[in-house]
């Protein structure tokens, strides 16, 4: 009996040690130097992936049979659109963690993601517009995909404005978190808009369930650019988190 009790104690201690290790970096002071290392590594990777993506996209990949050279906007447009949705989901996730566990760092990460998310949303809209003009003949149409992406931009702006308008940091984080969580419903709407409604925007060229409907080199260029934007987002978010820690701690 004594032995079993001892084993249970040991189990409990191991679990406690693991959870302590898990929460170790939840402290802004501990995370501060780690964020610098992450920013450096992801920053270097961002430059490398982006340069490789541009090389594959402009030198290796062929001209598109139907869209000609205009299709090369895809190397910016699709990765930027992916990042705009992905960053929002990550922002909502850390907002939810911050709300549930009351961890300061989660709220700081969520807050730091918003400007970069808004930037990629704007880039997706801007490049989409420049792609729409030569291929559809219009800079903008009130299509389901375009409209829901525009709403995403307003959600980011709303989140940042709400955070800036409340002086008390904790209340601002809680209000922002609620908006981020409620707004996340827009992300699947953007993603499935091309299937749910008749839209001018084309369907997904890349999907997890079927083979991509584009040349392998085009796909490679797009994935490299997406990795580059992803690494850039992590690097910039880490730099911003460090600024937040310096300002608030």
Residues in the site for other proteins, rule: CB under 8 A?
58, 63, 68-70, 72-73, 76-77, 80, 115-116, 119, 122-123, 126-127, 130-131, 133-134, 232, 236, 239-240, 242-243, 246-247
Cβ closest to other proteins, residue 111 vs residue 242: 242
Closest approach, Cβ 130 to other proteins, in A, equals: 5
Strands (DSSP E) contained in 133-235 are: none
* 127: CB partners within 8 A, 6+ apart: 73, 76, 77, 80
Please list the helix, strand and coil fractions of the chain in percent, rounded to the nearest 5, in that order: 80, 0, 20
Strand partners, 68: 64
Q: Whose Cβ is closer to other proteins: residue 94's or residue 131's?
A: 131
Q: In whole angstroms, how close is the CB of 37 to other proteins at the nearest point? A: 16
Return the structure tokens found at 110.
């969520």
Residue 14 buriedness (CB in 10 A; 0-12 / 13-18 / 19+) = exposed
Query: Between residues 55 and 58, which has the closer beta carbon with respect to other proteins?
Result: 58
- Closest contact distance (angstroms) between CB of 59 and other proteins is 10
Smallest separation, CB 76 to other proteins (Å): 5
Give whichever of 72 and 145 is closer to other proteins, judged by the CB atom. Answer: 72
Return the bridge partners of 64, or none.
Answer: 68
């Amino acid at each position: 009996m004594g032995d079993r009790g001892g084993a249970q104690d040991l189990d409990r201690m191991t679990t406690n040690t693991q959870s302590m290790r898990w929460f170790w970096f939840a402290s802004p002071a501990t995370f501060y130097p780690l964020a610098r290392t992450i920013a450096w590594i992801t920053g270097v990777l961002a430059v490398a992936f982006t340069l490789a993506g541009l090389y594959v996209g402009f030198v290796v990949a062929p001209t598109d049979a139907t869209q000609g050279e205009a299709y090369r906007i895809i190397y910016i447009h699709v990765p930027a659109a992916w990042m705009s949705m992905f960053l929002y989901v990550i922002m909502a996730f850390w907002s939810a963690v911050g709300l549930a566990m009351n961890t300061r760092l989660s709220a700081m990460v969520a807050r730091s993601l918003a400007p970069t998310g808004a930037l990629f949303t704007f880039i997706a809209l801007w490049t989409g517009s420049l792609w729409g003009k030569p291929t559809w003949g219009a800079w903008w149409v009130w299509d389901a995909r375009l409209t829901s992406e525009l709403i995403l931009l307003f959600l980011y702006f709303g989140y940042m404005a709400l955070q800036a308008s409340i002086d008390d940091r904790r209340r601002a984080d809680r209000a922002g978190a609620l908006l981020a969580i409620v707004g996340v419903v827009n992300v699947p709407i953007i993603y499935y808009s091309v299937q749910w409604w008749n839209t001018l925007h084309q369907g997904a060229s890349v999907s997890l369930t079927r083979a991509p409907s584009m040349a392998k080199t085009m796909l490679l260029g797009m994935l490299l650019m997406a990795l580059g934007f992803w690494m850039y987002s992590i690097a910039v978010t880490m730099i911003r988190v460090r600024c937040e820690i310096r300002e608030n701690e």
